[in-house]
């Protein structure tokens, strides 16, 4: 334990529970293949902003994962919903879309080899201190395939809040059905096969940053609208509340929207998570799918927002966005994740960066179980390597993630209430202030006075004192007598003085 480990807040955590980079084309992976139709306005194919795809089944076979039939056929009931929350994955220029016949096989061993962040960001070093054991990460996304070899034993109880998925949250939904499985594998995948010396989990396949953490899948339908599916105004807050009530320590939200504001229906759920000391980590979104500025839920106070950087540590252009709410930047290009069907997929975007940070939070919680959510966020932000403009900036936040330092390094004491702000305070200022407006006649606000139950009686009439006219005459007469008296007394006094003066002169 570091000699100056941060002071605890007394809250016991559940343990049972700066510059723009160069042209994006120079950074694209040679293995990326896009499904035909992405970003060309075809309804019912993929979300406009779909992940680049390059997948094969585990092993050496030539089987390539295909988008499920339901997603490759135009569904007249499904319409695009670009303005709502959607999986935070970028779209590539349609002119770069190759043929669907292109296949770039990737074995489980190649997937593990592709996880460059395990060494470059200090994950393997951090495993010497913690592995995420006892920490629960809720993944609010498109469903998680718990049968994937790299996720077997890692997925716990789940739910569906869309009204269209399986009750355990393990069915892929919406515009990007594999998305939630990919997120989960990066956060807490366990790999499979024989273990590597000195490492947790299996020695092949995707291993997550916190390979002994537990995933709680919460499936949502995002990116498109479909008849019978609940609105995101309902899905998102219900998902957050369910995660909190079911013991989540971290909530990963690799979803984004172009709006900086959010529905008022979300307020109480995020305030509830803050009250229960649950850390929410959200993706900043990507310019590649139209999110040039960080959008909700990543703009909500008390949420740790994750931006993205490329292999050179420069802010991702298509694979990230910008905004004052970004707290930290993590790898968002040339990543790999597990997808349903025992397969693997290259991907890019802050959707992939967020679970790396969620896994880091789980490692910190494993090692320091008494830290509050804000203190965990402080270790992540205070240990980040400054990049771009000095101090916090809208591209990198406090800096680039350093997993080993966040888990084992010395960090300065946390100032104030923490780096993330408070949702409760925001609501008090911005929502309750609005509710104090004068109620209208049809409003439902409580009356300001007690209800009157008896009829008010007018006062009895009283005759004025001068109604007869006597009062003014009396006053005038009295004043006249007073003047006459004063005048007489003055005359008498003058005569007396005159007589006295004469007598004095004779003497």
As annotated, the active-site residues are: 141, 179, 351
Report the distance separating Cα 481 and Cα 277, nearest Å: 90
Q: Is 110 left (phi over 0), alpha (psi -120 to 50) or beta?
A: alpha
Q: How many CA atoms lie within 13 A of 181 on its CB side?
A: 26
Name which of 342, 374, 377 is nearest 358 in CA terms: 377
Strands 190-192 and 204-207, by their bridges, are: antiparallel
The residues that bridge with 347 in the sheet, in sequence order, are: 335
Angle (nearest 5°) at CA 237 between 232 and 240: 125
CA max distance for the chain: 156
What is the b/e burial string over 323-332, where b = at least 16 CB atoms within 10 angstroms of the residue's CB?
bebbbbbbbb
**Tokens read off for 299:** 């703009």
Report the distance separating Cα 88 and Cα 247, nearest Å: 25
- Which residue reads 């004043």 in tokens? 479
Number of H helices, E strands in the chain: 12, 16
Report the distance separating Cα 423 and Cα 236, nearest Å: 16
DSSP 322: B
């Amino acid at each position: 334990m570091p000699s100056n480990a941060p002071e605890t807040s007394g809250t016991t955590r559940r343990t049972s529970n700066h510059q723009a980079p160069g042209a994006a084309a120079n950074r694209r992976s040679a293995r990326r293949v896009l499904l035909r139709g992405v970003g060309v306005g075809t309804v019912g194919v993929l979300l406009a902003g779909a992940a680049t795809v390059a997948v094969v089944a585990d092993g050496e076979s030539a089987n390539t994962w295909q988008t499920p039939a339901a997603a490759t056929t135009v569904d007249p009931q499904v319409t695009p919903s670009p303005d709502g929350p959607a999986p935070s994955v970028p779209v590539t220029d349609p002119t770069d879309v190759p043929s669907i016949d292109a296949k770039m096989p990737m074995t489980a061993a190649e997937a593990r080899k592709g996880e460059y962040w395990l060494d470059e960001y200090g994950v393997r070093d951090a495993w010497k201190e913690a592995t995420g054991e006892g920490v629960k990460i809720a993944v609010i996304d498109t469903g998680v395939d718990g049968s994937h070899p790299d996720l077997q034993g890692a997925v716990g109880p789940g739910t569906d809040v869309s009204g269209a998925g399986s009750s355990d949250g393990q069915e892929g939904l919406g515009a990007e059905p594999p998305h939630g499985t990919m997120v989960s594998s990066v956060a807490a995948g366990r790999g499979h096969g024989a273990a590597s010396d000195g490492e947790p989990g299996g020695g092949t396949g995707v291993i997550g940053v916190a390979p002994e953490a537990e995933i709680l899948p919460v499936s949502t339908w995002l990116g498109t609208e479909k008849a019978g599916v609940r609105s995101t105004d309902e899905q998102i807050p219900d998902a957050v509340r369910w995660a909190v009530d079911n013991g989540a320590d971290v909530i990963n939200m690799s979803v984004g929207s172009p709006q900086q504001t959010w529905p008022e229906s979300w307020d109480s759920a995020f305030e509830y998570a803050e009250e229960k000391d649950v850390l929410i980590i959200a993706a900043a979104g990507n310019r590649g799918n139209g999110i040039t500025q960080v959008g909700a839920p990543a703009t909500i106070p008390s949420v740790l927002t994750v931006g993205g950087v490329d292999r050179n540590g420069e802010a991702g252009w298509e694979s990230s966005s910008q905004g004052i709410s970004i707290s930290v930047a993590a790898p968002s290009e040339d990543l790999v994740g597990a997808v349903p069907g025992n397969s693997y997929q290259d991907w890019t975007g802050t959707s992939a960066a967020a679970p790396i940070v969620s896994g880091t939070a789980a490692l910190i919680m494993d090692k320091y179980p008494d830290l509050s959510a804000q203190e965990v966020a402080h270790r992540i932000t205070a240990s980040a390597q400054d990049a771009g403009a000095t101090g916090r900036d809208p591209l990198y936040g406090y800096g680039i993630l350093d997993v080993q330092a966040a888990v084992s390094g010395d960090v300065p004491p946390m100032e104030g209430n923490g780096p993330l702000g408070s949702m409760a305070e925001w609501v008090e200022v911005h929502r309750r202030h609005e509710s104090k407006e004068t109620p209208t006649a049809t409003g439902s606000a409580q009356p300001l006075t007690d209800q009157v139950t008896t009829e008010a009686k007018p006062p009895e009439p009283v005759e004025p004192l001068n109604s007869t006219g006597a009062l003014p005459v009396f006053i005038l007469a009295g004043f006249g007598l007073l003047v006459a008296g004063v005048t007489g007394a003055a005359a008498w006094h003058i005569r007396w003085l005159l007589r006295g003066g004469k007598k004095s002169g004779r003497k």
